[in-house]
Amino acid sequence: MNKKAMLEMQTWSDLPIELLELIFCRLSLEDNIRSSIACKRWNTAAISVRVVNHSPWLMYFPKFGNMYEFYDPAQRKTYSLELPELYGSRVCYTKDGWLLLYRPRTNRVFFFNPFSREVVKLPRFELTYQIVAFSCAPTSNTCVVFTVRHISPTIVAISTCHPGATEWVTVNYQNRLPFVSSIWNKIVFCNGLFYCLSLTGWLGVFDPLEHTWNVLAVPPPKCPENFFAKNWWKGKFMSEHNGDILVIYTCCSENPIIFKLDQSKMFWREMKTLDGMTLFASFLSSHSRSDLPGMMRNSVYFSKVRFFGKRCISYSLDDCRYYPRKQCHDWGEQDPFENIWIEPPEDLSSFI
């Protein structure tokens, strides 16, 4: 059979897999699913680029004024929203589309949803150089707010609160291992527990139901010697994904190193791949996503945008390099209150 006849016998299913992926990534979710039942090759290509999730947006806090910018890394678009309700406030944490904020002058602590403009107030509380986190949206009756500060290397003071409470509850706990808290610590809520990564890499765990605190006997992640440079302890991030605790270590121009806590053997395992997952790292709270557009998978997106707000700096574990190249990766030098990742609204038309 000659070449011409062979070409005439080819069908749509014979298209190169790369071309199929390019086509399917431009389809809506419904069309992607319909196309995937055509044949085995189409099914493989369609699933590989299927998007069933939305990436968080990067919210910028202005130095002056009430105009806030929201950057969508998937569409590379920036939206603006005027939020006078946040005047004089400092961002502390974000989860489920809600911000937790603090007004230093009045010690006011409150939740705010920038898309619905809902406000949920908490009792006043002094937050100096402490980090704060909450378990879920304040509209849930299971929402718990958590903060920790060390009294001494072996004693920490843990304060908790919840929407509707009239005061914060503070209890001192004894550590079996040294735990130093600072604004550079990281907190995530996972499997009903608050995990807190200390300045030096030790992991404390607080159970809000049992009211117990424990510093795990897990040595900090092992990093190359060249990571122990100026401000190396500032350039780390922590997130959770499907019950796993993930830590990202960065240092200047070195490639990031990602560790996952092996909870059965109690040690930090270095990850060479994220298996298609995407991490969004910022100082006060980090997020994870699966099923994002193909080009965003197996990558870490950092809270810095370049090229006139058109490109978010990211690191690809597939290519072992930063995008774009030749950027200053001084994560330890950034202002921790400058921006934060937040879940976008389901209906964009409500404020665009």
What's the Cα-to-Cα distance from 18 to each of 41, 44, 214, 297, 343, rounded to whole Å?
11, 11, 49, 16, 31
> Does residue 137 contact residue 97 with C-beta atoms inside 8 Å?
yes
Tokens for 351, please give them.
């404020």
Q: Note down pLDDT in tens along the chain; length 352 residues.
A: 555 555 455 566 677 777 777 777 667 656 777 777 778 887 877 766 665 678 999 999 998 899 999 999 988 889 999 999 999 999 999 999 999 999 999 999 999 999 999 999 999 999 876 789 999 999 999 999 999 988 887 899 999 999 999 999 999 999 888 787 777 789 999 999 999 998 888 999 999 999 999 999 999 888 766 665 555 567 889 999 999 999 998 877 788 899 999 989 999 999 999 999 999 999 999 999 988 877 899 999 998 877 656 678 899 999 999 888 766 666 766 777 889 999 998 776 555 5
- The pLDDT, as a whole number, for residue 221 is 85
- The pLDDT, as a whole number, for residue 230 is 57
Model confidence, pTM: 0.83
Tokens for 40, please give them.
């085995």
- The pLDDT, as a whole number, for residue 7 is 47
Beta carbons within 10 angstroms of residue 266's beta carbon: 12
- The pLDDT, as a whole number, for residue 245 is 97
The answer for residues whose C-beta is within 8 angstroms of residue 329's C-beta and 6 or more apart is 250, 252, 253, 302, 313, 322
User: Residue 281 and residue 284: Cα distance in Å, rounded?
Assistant: 9
Q: Which residue has the tokens 């190169």?
A: 16
Q: Which residue has the tokens 């390099």?
A: 321
The answer for residues whose C-beta is within 8 angstroms of residue 352's C-beta and 6 or more apart is 79
> Does residue 158 contact residue 148 with C-beta atoms inside 8 Å?
yes
- Name which of 135, 6, 72 is nearest 351 in CA terms: 72
User: Residue 322 and residue 256: Cα distance in Å, rounded?
Assistant: 9
The answer for residues whose C-beta is within 8 angstroms of residue 310's C-beta and 6 or more apart is 76
Q: Which residue has the tokens 């139901």?
A: 209
- Name which of 47, 45, 107, 59 is nearest 338 in CA terms: 59
User: Residue 194 and residue 210: Cα distance in Å, rounded?
Assistant: 12
User: Residue 267 and residue 261: Cα distance in Å, rounded?
Assistant: 6
- The pLDDT, as a whole number, for residue 261 is 96
CA 154 to chain CA mean position, Å = 29
- The pLDDT, as a whole number, for residue 4 is 54
User: Residue 189 and residue 144: Cα distance in Å, rounded?
Assistant: 10
